[in-house]
Amino acid sequence: MRGTVDGLVLRETETGESDKLLTVLTAEYGKILICAKGARSMRSKNMSLCRLFTYGNFEYYEKNGMRWLAGGSVNDSFFKLNSDIEGFALAAYILEVASEITGEGVRAETVLKMTLNTLYAIENKLKPLDIIKGAYELFAADCSGFTPDVSGCYSCGCACADTMYLDVMNGSLVCQECRSAGSGGLPIPELDAYSARNILFPMNRAVLASVRYVLGARRERLFAFELKEENDIADFSRLGETYLHNHLERGFDTLDFFKTVKNK
Ligand SMILES: [Zn+2]
């Protein structure tokens, strides 16, 4: 059986002497594997199609329960990412997150569209990288069903205080006053009585407004908010990863790489 599908290459693995196994994110089937015979050969006509970050149209045939690449064309290669190590590192992390939150055999229009928009934003430096990163991480948590309720303090209901805390594991907000009252003014221990991790992430008004914006925004407007202070941008980025990684219960090597190149 032959078929054709548009998709974004999330991962390329070398197999055999000159073959590649591609993990491709598609709207119709979620994550799929496509085996590309001879894709590593200099003579291969599919070389540019079979690269990380390539968004293309893949023609394939199915045999022995596998999809095999027959041909195709490149829609966008995001080639400018290759000339900027920080952008490249962040984009690689974004692809790893996209892969983590997408199953096989499920529809994934939203993740595909948002991931393409995010690569475009990184490539064209539409925003500081830490804003793009934090917004995508919150999107990924939201899209995986871990949406936090950031409407107001879960205890007293107040919507805004100078400092509000995101209770990471419970996905809720608590205000400074309720936090102090709840712990009798003592610092909250890292583990609660049920040995669950107790992570309270402090946010000022600007950071909280950005979190609310991202969780409420139409997807195509995800990055259309302003966060100016460097400390706020750093907090927003740290909040995104703390929230997402604690809910996915894993870390990402590509993020460690991004941090390494960013701090150079
Ligand atoms: Zn409160």
pLDDT digits (tens, 9 = 90+) for 13-65: 999 899 999 999 999 999 999 999 988 888 888 889 999 999 999 999 999 98
pLDDT on residue 11: 97
Among 65-79, 142-156, 183-197, the minimum mean pLDDT is found in: 183-197
Q: In this structure, are 70 and 86 located in the same domain?
A: no
Spatial contact of 29 and 38, defined as CB atoms under 8 Å apart: no
User: How many domains does one find in the chain?
Assistant: 2
CA of 200 to the centre of ligand 1 (A): 14
The pLDDT of 199-215, averaged and rounded, is 95
Distance 153 CA to ligand 1 centre (A): 5
Indicate if 215 and 179 belong to the same structural domain.
yes
pLDDT the model gives residue 204: 95
pLDDT tier for residue 116 given thresholds of 50, 70 and 90: very high
For position 180, what pLDDT does the model report? 84
Residues 58 and 140 in one domain: no
Q: At which of 26, 48, 76 does a domain end? A: 76
pLDDT at 183: 64
Q: Which residues surround ligand 1, an ion (CB under 5 A)?
A: 153, 155-156, 175, 178
Clarify whether residues 25 and 111 are in a common domain.
no
4 CA distance to ligand 1 middle (Å): 54
Centre of ligand 1 from the C-alpha of residue 208, in Å:
15
Last residue of a domain, one of 76, 105, 127: 76
| Cα 231 to ligand 1 centroid, rounded to whole Å | 25
Residue 91 shares a structural domain with residue 72: no
Percent of the chain whose predicted confidence (pLDDT) is above 90: 80
Quick check: 205 pLDDT over 90?
Answer: yes
Ligand 1 centroid from CA 146, angstroms = 22
How far, in Å, from the CA of 7 to the mean position of ligand 1?
A: 45
Token look-up 């190149």 returns 261
pLDDT for the residue 196: 59
Contact in structure between 127 and 121 (CB atoms under 8 Å): yes
pLDDT at 117: 97
Mind listing the pLDDT tens digit for each residue in 156-199? 999 888 999 999 999 999 998 998 887 666 666 666 655 556 78
* Ligand 1 centroid – CA 142 distance (Å): 24
What would the two tokens of residue 179 be?
């936090």
Please give the distance, rounded to the nearest whole angstrom, from the Cα atom of residue 158 to the centre of ligand 1. Answer: 6
Are the C-beta atoms of 163 and 153 separated by less than 8 Å?
no
Between 152 and 186, residue with greater pLDDT: 152
What mean pLDDT comes out for the span 91-105? 97
Contact yes or no for 208/160 (Cβ under 8 A): yes
Kind of pairing, strands 149-153 and 172-175? Answer: parallel
What gap in Å lies between CA 188 and CA 190, rounded to an integer?
Answer: 7
Distance CA 130, CA 202 (A): 18
What is the pLDDT at residue 42? 82
Q: Model-level pTM? A: 0.93
- Dist. CA 203 → ligand 1 center (Å): 14
pLDDT of residue 54: 97
Would you state the pLDDT for residue 194? 57
Residue pair 145/124 in contact (Cβ under 8 Å)? The answer is: no
Q: What is the pLDDT of residue 191?
A: 60
**Same domain? 157 vs 175:** yes
Is residue 199 domain-shared with residue 91, that is, in the same domain? Answer: yes
- The residue range of the domain holding 55 is 2-76
Domain boundary among 76, 104, 123: 76
Assess whether 120 and 216 both reside in one domain: yes
Decide which of 127 and 160 is more confident. 127
Over residues 224-257, the pLDDT tens digits come to 999 999 999 999 999 999 999 999 999 999 999 9
Q: Measured between alpha carbons, how far is 57 from 63 in angstroms, rounded to an integer? A: 19
Residue 264 shares a structural domain with residue 169: yes
Domain match, 215 and 107 both: yes
The CATH number of the domain holding residue 93 is: 1.20.1440.120
pLDDT for the residue 217: 83
How far away, in angstroms, is 195 Cα from ligand 1 center? 24
Domain identity same for 66 and 183: no
What is the 127 CA–ligand 1 centroid distance (Å)? 33
Which CATH number covers residue 60?
A: 2.40.50.140
In this predicted structure, the answer to whether residue 97 has a pLDDT above a threshold of 70 is: yes
Whether 31 and 127 share a structural domain: no
What is the maximal distance between C-alpha atoms in the chain?
Answer: 71
